[in-house]
Structure formats: C-alpha cells, structure tokens
Amino acid sequence: MGGLCLFGLAILCFIIGFIQLVAPEPAMRGQIPVRNIPGQMPLGGIPRPSGLDPSLSGVPRPAFLDPRIPGTISGLGSASQTTPQATSTASGGGPANMNEQKLSWIKVGQRIYTRHAVKGELMSHVLGRIVYAELWQQSRGPQVPWTPTGNAFIGLWLEGGMFLLNWQNRFYLLDERVELSDADIQRDFLPHARKFAQSDQTADVYFAYPPAMWHIDDIGKFNVTQTEGEGLLFRPGAVGRFIHASGDSGRALVVEDYEGGGGGQDTAWIGYSLAEEDIKPT
C-alpha cells in the first residue's frame, strides 16, 4: 500500500515538472510590444526642407541694387553719338537759337511761377540765365572733335537757391546743390556714365547716390555760350559733361563736370522733374 502511494506521488511530481517546462514565461508588468512603423523618422531626425537651409546664400541681388557706390564724367569716352536732329534756321540762314528755345520767354529780373513736386506752386525771382550749346562727336575717339549740334538749352538761377533747367523735352526744378571734387566724380559717377556710353546709351543703368537710386536718362557734353545776371557758377566758354538721371516719385539728378580752367564748379543738383506747363509767368 505504501509503495503504491509513493509511485503515485512520483507521477504527480513528473506531471507538474513537465507543465512548468513547456508553459510560456509570463510577460513583465507594463511592458508593451513595439511595432516598427514603415517610414517613421526617429525623434529629432526630421529633415529641414532644402529651401530653408540657412547655409544657402540666397537669390542673387539684382545688379541695380548693388549697395556699392562707385563713379565721374571726366574721362568718359564719347557721349551723344547719335546723329543730331536737323535744327530749324532763321531767315538769315543761321540756327534759330533764341526764338526757338524753350523758356526763352523768361528774362532776368522777371518773376515766374513753378510747381514743385513737394512744395507746390512757388513764385520766384529770376536772378540769372545760362545758355548751353549741345556738342557731339561724329565718331568715337580722342582725336574726333566735338562740334555743336545746333541745339541750345536754357538754365535759370532762381531766388531761394533753385535752378530751373530745360534739356530737350525734359524740365528740372533743382533745389539741392552739392559741390563735387574730381575725386567725387571719379568715385560716384564715372563708372556708371561710362557703362551707359558703351551701350550707345541704350542700357538701363542704375546707381546709388544719396538720397536715392537713380536711372541714367542721358549723358553728353556742352559749351556755355552765354550767361547773364547774378548767382551763376559758370562763365562763357566753359565746356563740361553732364549726367541726367531720374529716381522714384519724380526725383531728378543733374551732374555737371567742367573741364579744367575754372569754367565752372563741378556740381550735383538734386530736385524734381516738372512739365513745361508747370512753368508760368506771373
């Protein structure tokens, strides 16, 4: 009887041991299986879009926004290379100068109205008058002479330090004057004028000069043929070159660079354009 009990106990221990051997090991408390999600990026590994990469240098700056301010008119090749338009002649056969010039009705000592772009209508006393003869070269070259085109244009010195200028179909009322040295002209204006001349005056040339960005409209050469009155900074016979440029909101820049000999003061005039009908007698 006792041997039978021992045999049964042995069988029970064998069964219990077999069950423990084949049963799966229990999972740890709180452990959650992890699934890899296709395409999932690791934390912090999201790539920066290439367009926002701070190492990129960005879009090239347009040439006319280049902040460097170079340039002068002395040493400029030739300007106004186009064939001058035929001028009308007086009954005597010579150029019909004074009677044909715009603003020729304005005399020294007269009072006139002008419309300033910012200040509105102004009444000014005419203090002085200058006549420019336009010059040109038939071809480029240092040995090619500059000769008159037959066109002449008038500038008027007004009280209050203003200068009223006509050139071709352009009219300027200039009220800020900066005296220039040869170094100023070489630094601030010459490279731009030369670039414009080399394009046969067809390129859109922009440059910076306080207080604005400017677009060159015209360059050329002139001879002062007549002066009258007071306040003028020129004398008859003076020869110089010019740059006429325009800015935003009707701004205007006129640069005059005189050849040696004391014919005139190199000057940058800043002001505004106006229409011919904005100039009236009192």
> Would you place residue 266 in the very low, low, confident or very high pLDDT band (cuts 50, 70, 90)?
very high
Question: Which pLDDT belongs to residue 111?
Answer: 98
Identify the H or E element spanning 183. helix 182-188
In sequence order, what are the beta bridge partners of 133? 152, 223
| Contact between residue 215 and residue 247 where contact means Cβ atoms under 8 Å apart | yes
pLDDT (0 to 100) of residue 32: 32
Determine the Cα–Cα distance for residues 37 and 45; give it in Å rounded to an integer: 15
Q: Name the band, by pLDDT with cuts 50, 70 and 90, for residue 279.
A: very high
Report the C-alpha gap between 266 and 268 in whole angstroms: 7
Distance, in Å, from the CA atom of 167 to the CA atom of 130, rounded to the nearest integer, reads 12
Confidence at residue 120, expressed as pLDDT on a 0 to 100 scale: 96
> Is the previous residue joined to 236 through a cis bond, with omega within 30 degrees of 0?
no
Of 3-7, 69-73, 139-143, highest mean pLDDT? 139-143
Kindly report whether the global pTM for this prediction surpasses the value 0.75: no
**Phi first, then psi: what are they for 122, rounded to 5°?**
-125, 140
User: Which of 35-39, 84-88, 128-132, 182-186 has the least mean pLDDT?
Assistant: 35-39
